[in-house]
Amino acid sequence: MLSLEESQMDPLKLLPSEVCLQIFELLDAPDLARVELVSSSWREVAHKSSVWRTAFLRKYQRQIHTTPAPIQVGGAGCGRPNRPNQEWKRMYKARNELEANWRKGAKGAGKAIYLAGHTDSVYCLQFDEEKIITGSRDRTIRVWDINNYTCQRVIGGPNVKPVMGPKVLRTVDYPDFHLATASVNGTAYGNTIYHQPSQWHDASILCLQYDNEILVTGSSDSDLLIWDIKTYEPIKRLSRHTGGVLDVALDAKYIVSCSKDSRIIVWDRKTYEPIGELTGHRGPVNAVQLRGKLLVSASGDGIARLWDLEQMKLVKEFSAKERGLAAVEFSEDMQYVLAGGNDTITYKFETETGKEVKQFTGHNQLVRSLWLDSQNNRVVSGSYDLDLRVYDFETGDEIFRAEEWTTSWMLAAKSDYRRIVATSQDGRILVIDFGLNKCNDPDDGQPMIDGLDLLRGIDNTNAIQWRDPWERARQQERERERARARLLQQAQQQPLFS
């Protein structure tokens, strides 16, 4: 037995510093906050960068469960990879505050930015920390700078070059509103960014996905186009479907497309040649998602199916619904499948058993799009009822609702650790940023979280330009005040009788 004096000895004085550091690296942030109060020596160890790096990555680093890994959409929110001397404690605090913002609801957080330019419905999108790529019924692909909200490139055939417009549409009211950009269609700048490639789609662009090498688009013209993501020049056209290509999924090994013709075609990523077909759906296959050798699909026949791509066979069917499915998601650990559609409900199934374990409810029209952010345990759904809803993936609780922040049907939505990017039938892109201040004060629209920029994963990108949407109105009011002052001064100098 230890004596009282021995039992009260500081273990940091008894153990080698390397061992003490390893012990502290086992602690999570709440424990570190408590041990900092013990003594100055404990506080010194608890403040070390390696301790907070371990705590941060344990909670926020993305877990990869498949080979090849799924495509990263948006930013990971984990700082610059392999960059030394990052401020991990400050980054942890910033992520913690961001998480809280998502749960404040629409009145407490989330600022809306509207990007105008497409002249018809925008069916599909993907984004990262530099850009947003969108595809539209207007038969063009657009590339937007996600940091300064400008359109950088418009890609289409010779007959779809946009002219002046589109008309200005309503936005949500303050304090939800942050910025609405004007279309550059028909302007000198708009003409310079229009690019006519050697090949293009002759009909609506219904789906797209990209990684750091290629962009794949699918169209109502029944074809897929493979593009070089750096030059936006076409590499190859894939023609095998007999109906519009409704969705596409890719990784380092496969490209998978599904169609109105009820077929799923699996293509070799390296050769761009078809290697198999998956048949069995009795209606249009509206959505697919890829996880390693497994693929999940959803169809207008009301059934979600799980496929093995190595064996090209059906693995499991999830319980049929009375009405068709429009969207499907597959958790990155492959344990759950989400499916939603005409009956306004999103269903959560266990992959192993096929059992329905949860329902996400609230929409009152078709659930048109689904996005499962496995890393952050959030489900984002967009509906024909004009709403975007965000749910807790584990509990099913609704944590955010953008009620009629668009003027027409929501068609696509994706999210990352700090923002939602969505598209609708009204032709605009809606960005909802949970890192911007929503308070009614001079800081409105400014970054509200200390250390927010430290979470970005890249250095060589445009600086984020925070703009005050009310500055122009204030400038006009100042000019009117100066004009009134000049008129008053002139009136005072004018003699009463001439």
How many Cα neighbours within 13 Å face the side chain of 246?
27
Domain with 193, as residue range(s), is 100-455
Task: Give residue 103's identity as a one-letter amino acid code.
Answer: R
Does the predicted TM-score (pTM) go above 0.75?
Answer: yes
pLDDT of 489: 73
**368's tokens:** 């048109």
How many other C-beta atoms can be found within 10 angstroms of the C-beta atom of residue 480?
A: 10
pLDDT score of 5: 54
**What's the pLDDT at 477?**
67
Cis peptide before 175 (omega within 30 of 0): yes
Confirm whether 463 is domain-assigned. Answer: no
Residue 485: predicted pLDDT = 77
CA distance 152 to 397: 38
Is residue 71 domain-resident? no
For the CA atoms of 315, 321, 327, 331, the dihedral, rounded to the nearest 10 degrees, stands at: -50
Find all residues with CB under 8 Å of 383, minimum gap 6, and list them: 344, 363, 364, 365, 366, 367, 368, 389, 409, 410
* Closest CA relative to residue 388, chosen from 360, 419, 363: 363
What whole-number distance in Å separates Cα of residue 98 and Cα of residue 77?
Answer: 10
Nearest to 250 by CA among 210, 206, 201: 210
CB contact set of 446 (below 8 Å; sequence gap of 6+): 436, 437, 466
Looking up tokens 């939603």, which residue turns up?
340
CATH number of the domain residue 216 falls in = 2.130.10.10
325 contacts 300 by C-beta, under 8 angstroms:
yes
Question: Which residues lie below 8 Å from residue 40, measured CB to CB, with a gap of 6+?
Answer: none
116 part of a folded domain: yes
The pLDDT score that the predictor gives to residue 492 is 66
Q: Tell me, yes or no, whether 12 lies in a domain.
A: no
**In the chain, count of helices (H) and strands (E)?**
9, 30
With a cut of 70, list the residues of the chain below it in pLDDT: 1-8, 320, 440-447, 460-477, 491-498
180 lies in some domain: yes
Asked whether residue 235 is assigned to any structural domain, the reply reads yes
In a domain? residue 69? no
- β-pair partners for 290: 295
SS3 of 253, please? coil
pLDDT score recorded for residue 491: 66
Quote the longest CA-to-CA distance of the chain: 111
Written as six digits, the tokens of 253 are 């090994």
In a domain, 498, yes or no: no
Beta-carbon contacts of residue 85 (< 8 Å; ≥ 6 apart): 49
Give the count of domains, the chain: 1
Is residue 377 within 8 Å of residue 390, measured between CB atoms? no
> What count of other Cβ atoms lies within 10 Å of the Cβ of residue 234?
18
Q: How far apart are CA 418 and CA 349, in angstroms?
A: 27
Beta-carbon contacts of 276 under 8 Å, excluding residues fewer than 6 positions away, are 265, 266, 309, 312
